Structure 1
């Protein structure tokens, strides 16, 4: 099959490319900064720009499926840009697929689209998708799903709803977008204590396992939503993996500290992610197991352990998104381009 992939150079995209090439598919990677990788055809498209819709339509022409992975996490202080990329980009991808006559769209949604959990019981795909309103990421994922709702009668649509996705080669990207620039990656193991509230529960899954589910959905042209997770980690387990002693603080205290440090540009992760850690539900993956014959090969703890080890060693990939992060380079970017949380392009 010929498959077009938006965000093909990112965390999930790199794993999806590897898996689909193994399956013998012909791939078109749709990205803003094409890498030097001649295994597939690359098209340069900025999904945040409406003027690039014609180029997007040309990129998906003749495809048997479009896998839409492109999303933005930074700049967190430019919500308009993130909406233009995530929500506007999804609208443009759906429109381009329809006009090009592509029969199947696989959309990367998220656990972030779900409404807050009522308890710690895993939820199935019929759980409400009204999101966590205080999280821009969650609001945008919900808005993207509402776009899909309008076109399900004209296009086979698969919605993947994974937990937090990790892999080793994404470590430098996580450091660049989530850790203050003067902090080296190995510092993630230096903290003797970790202040986390008891309510934290984070579903996780490995990028390669997400790629496996996407490949299975493409082969089956499976429609509907699929939860993807390898389990959830609570606050104590997260502290154990980081080698720190957990200190239980009230959620409002942690949230206020995150919000203040973000507003002061001391760190670049907006407080909506703290709200997601509190409210995101555990995921029941029985539908993916049953209909896609999917099962994760790594546990949630193994995923976090791999990510943390990658952070310590500043592991990286071969694309601009996954490039190696170094403190001197980040300082240079700060001086020439400003903080990552406020750049027009991260």
Structure 2
């Protein structure tokens, strides 16, 4: 019998400190590596510099996985995100702030402050952990046993035996409880496990997740504007590589880093807006063949020896109703 975990178990303090230290070192190394691009490729077009920045970050990801597998050195993804935000903010105060207007300074500092608060909130948030009584727990444990025997395949439990207090007869999200292998818990309204925030995205924190994505977009766009103003006033772009200081190179490299983040997060947020509009979860879209309610079986025609299975979304009520449901505006 597998024990049913109801909440995430925090890491030991020593292990947590060690992972945060590795993350901080990784941020410093990656940011200073990115500063080599404007130093040696300042004459290259912006698009080339952005592509080179992406290549450098990809190399660091590969090296990080190599260190984790061979050396047993682990980093914390949430700590990596947090230290990157702090690094960019510190560079802004030390170098870029003097070239920015007072209004833009207040806006950017306010955005970063709210971003840090949002990061802490979503890391500590409850995504919708299912906590049931003994009879319901036994059913979920049996489902988890079956999942382990099936090589950890994701399964969806039926709504009839669930006794979580938030489940209602008319609730669509209440029938969408899935198991997260990373958190080892059942999550109500499970969308996906977000490594960057170290938490699942579920019914209780999905809206916070979307607000945080919008916050990242706004903050990074503001930083691109601020660093561009600094580069224009300092005339860094017109100088040769040897004339540019380390602080100037870091200002350009962090701008390239923010552009990359913007490009990725625009795609990521667009995908989640699409999912909200059509009332589908990321996990359901990727693993729809594991969930029977998303399978539409087309019977084989005469002369064919097999049937076709196509995707269908039984939760789609139309864009307006789907958005209302996400915002919890529908009548209870």
> Counting helix residues as a fraction of each chain, which structure ranks higher?
2
Structure-1-length-normalised TM-score: 0.28
TM-score, with normalisation over the residues of structure 2? 0.29
Greater Rg over alpha carbons, structure: 2
Bigger strand share: 1
